[in-house]
Copies of this chain bind each other. A is one copy, B any other.
Amino acid sequence: MIIQLQPDISSKQKETLIEKVNGIGYKTTEVRTQLGDYIIGIGKKEFDIRKIGQLDGIRDIHIVSDEYKLVSKKWKAKPTSVDLGDGVYIKDGEMAIITGPCSIESEEQIRKVVKHCVENGIRMMRGGVFKPRTSPYAFRGMGIDGLKLWHSIASEAGIKIVTEVMQTSQIEEMYPYVDIYQVGARNSQNFNLLDELGKVDKAVMIKRGISGTIEELLQSAEYVFSGGNEKLILCERGIRTYEKASRNTLDLNAIPILKAKSHLPVIVDPSHGIGIRSYVSQMALAGVMAGADGIIYESHEIPEKAYSDGQQTLDFAQSARLAAWIRESFAMRKGFDLL
């Protein structure tokens, strides 16, 4: 169960409430986020909801039997809008476009991508400064200095920064320079990292695990939310299956399912989802029709020269066309009476 508290609930009232909830055999966890205070009750016994609902200091109470609770649509039907400032949002009813290279490589490269974004009305840029690599001998990114450089150029142009955080010790140093912390597929169940991101007041985008279930993605989001951070975005990026003709199997089924189960915005990464440049645009548009609230894809001035992921990266001409098609498709989909 989720109990939303009044902002002015007294500690006495809260104590009484917790005693009552424990009294019916439920364990309680207190959650304080940027937007509100909650008591989460964990248990299985049936009880009369009115007996608790009538206590003082309570705004509302909801029965949510799923393993994930705060990210569920069962208590919060209204979609979450993630506000990044300067009129940039990721939310239901709008189409977020995020593009940029796999790795941040140089000042020159950053300037070119920022310019490309500005010219195409794209307000969010992706790029890695800390790179998770399966081989210890591969390029691991420009690090925090790369991020600072990027931030100085992007913020001037009004471009928001989306970049991966790989461990808790990076959260603080990255904080001034990042708009959305990305949790990568390999860290999707790094619970310590999720816990710590719950304490931050910047947006967090969680990628689905390499073989993560939809349920597990929602539970990972629950970690961040219950840690105190409601600014959450979910990202489908393809899962691992037996099929080897594509890098991953982009599971677009996940889009309508996540949108139905959760109030959080959901975006799609077609670059990792298929892994082959000439098919990225099709899959991006398929993601739009499946109901995504945004598309994140890789672009680079000269993909063949990118330090990593070049084979799935669009050049600027392709990216410009794709951005336009995404918007057209989204406008059409909004006209349909879909869920």
Interface residues of A (CB under 8 A from B): 27, 29, 40, 42, 67-68, 132-137, 166-169, 186-187, 189-193, 195, 209-211, 213-216, 219-220, 222-223, 226-227, 239-246, 249-257, 260, 273-274, 276, 278-279, 281-283, 285-291, 321, 325, 328-329, 332-333, 336-339
Contacts and interface: CB of A to CB of B under 8 A. Distances in A.
A289 B288 CA distance: 9
Contact of A285 (B166, B278, B289, B321): B289
Nearest to A238: B253
A232 to B, nearest CB: 13
B256 A282 contact: yes
A136 B214 contact: no
A215 B242 CA distance: 12
Nearest to A321: B337
B325 A222 contact: no
A283 B252 CA distance: 8
Give 7 nearest A-B pairs by CB, closest first.
Answer: A211-B211, A285-B289, A286-B286, A256-B279, A286-B290, A186-B189, A246-B253
B191 A132 contact: yes
Of listed A40, A253, A257, A325, residue having the most chain B CB within 10 A? A253
Of listed A40, A245, A283, A289, residue having the most chain B CB within 10 A? A289
Nearest to A213: B243
Contacts of A240: 211, 242
Contact of A137 (B191, B213, B226, B290): B226
A338 to B, nearest CB: 6
Given A27-B137, A279-B339, 8 more contacts: A134-B189, A135-B219, A136-B219, A136-B223, A186-B190, A186-B191, A241-B242, A282-B338
A245 B257 contact: yes
B189 A132 contact: yes
A279 B336 CA distance: 13
Contacts of A254: 243, 245
B337 A216 contact: no
A314 to B, nearest CB: 13
B253 A253 contact: no
A279 B253 contact: yes
A249 B246 contact: no
A229 to B, nearest CB: 12
A242 to B, nearest CB: 5
A289 to B, nearest CB: 4
Nearest to A242: B240
A250 B250 CA distance: 9
Contacts of A329: 289, 329, 332
B283 A290 contact: yes
Nearest to A279: B256
28 contacts: A29-B137, A132-B189, A132-B191, A134-B189, A134-B216, A135-B222, A136-B222, A167-B167, A190-B190, A210-B211, A211-B242, A215-B245, A239-B249, A240-B242, A243-B253, A246-B257, A249-B249, A250-B251, A250-B252, A253-B283, A255-B282, A279-B339, A282-B290, A282-B291, A286-B287, A286-B290, A329-B329, A332-B332
